[in-house]
């Protein structure tokens, strides 16, 4: 692939970065990212994925836009209330950059359909809000050999982890949370509240990590950081990183690798 003069102009600030360069920008244009969940995390993440020039996007969300979403889900406007999030997000993308290739699904992702919904992706970003869905997505990524960025946020704290359980010695998301959460039993932001800007920080940080993952081996932006969980604190503010080891008896990735 070669970039047209218009695309070279659009991404000139990327291309002049030695850590990205022309080869890196071409890699982004050729990449396909599946974004699962277009809420507080997926919304700002998607904006910066598109702005980065990632050429192909798959959007998965079965929810509709509610007025309470607008406090943190920056991709939507009051006109989108009552409409599906996936379709509304595609409309935003078409207005932002009509050169992007976008597939949408308003199906609820589950263990049964996760594999088909992420098929063909170079990277999956999961911003969903319950453990059952997150584990279904993680299991599908391991089975398909696709790396995963899993992000979560609540109140004033967030986390972003990079997982590649299909690789030897690398942990998957299930290695981190275990099997006890295979149910939709976690707290929601409706119960606990959330600072809107906190969701923005986590989502844009996930987008930054996505670019790093996609450019691994092409640029000098840095290593993907598999098995590293970044914990973001909006009150301090600050960030710390911990390393998650591969669980040798994990039912998802112990034998897959």
Residues noted as catalytic = 189
Alpha-carbon gap, residue 101 to 66, rounded angstroms: 26
* Residues β-bridged to residue 243: 228
Cα gap 215→105, rounded to integer Å: 27
């Amino acid at each position: 692939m070669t970039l047209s003069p218009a695309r070279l102009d659009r991404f000139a600030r990327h291309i002049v970065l030695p850590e990205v360069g022309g080869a890196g920008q071409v890699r982004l244009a050729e990449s396909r990212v599946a974004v699962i969940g277009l809420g507080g995390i997926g919304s700002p993440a998607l904006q910066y994925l598109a702005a980065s020039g990632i050429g192909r996007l798959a959007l998965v969300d079965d929810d509709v836009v509610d007025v309470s979403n607008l406090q943190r889900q920056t991709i939507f406007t009051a006109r989108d209330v009552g409409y599906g999030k996936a379709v509304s997000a595609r409309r935003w993308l078409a207005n932002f950059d009509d050169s992007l290739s976008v597939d949408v699904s308003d199906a609820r992702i589950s263990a049964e359909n996760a594999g088909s919904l992420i098929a063909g992706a170079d990277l999956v970003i999961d911003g969903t809000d319950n453990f059952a869905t997150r584990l279904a997505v993680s299991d599908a990524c391991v089975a398909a050999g696709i790396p995963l960025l899993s992000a979560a946020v609540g109140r004033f704290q967030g986390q972003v982890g990079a997982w590649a359980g299909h690789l030897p010695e690398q942990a998957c998301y299930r290695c981190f949370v275990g099997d006890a959460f295979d149910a939709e039993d976690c707290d929601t932001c409706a119960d606990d509240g959330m600072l809107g800007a906190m969701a923005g920080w986590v989502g844009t940080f996930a987008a930054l990590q996505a670019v790093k993952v996609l450019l691994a081996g092409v640029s000098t932006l840095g290593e993907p950081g598999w098995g590293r969980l970044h914990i973001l604190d909006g009150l301090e503010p600050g960030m710390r990183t911990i390393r998650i080891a591969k669980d040798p008896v994990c039912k998802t990735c112990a034998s897959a690798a």
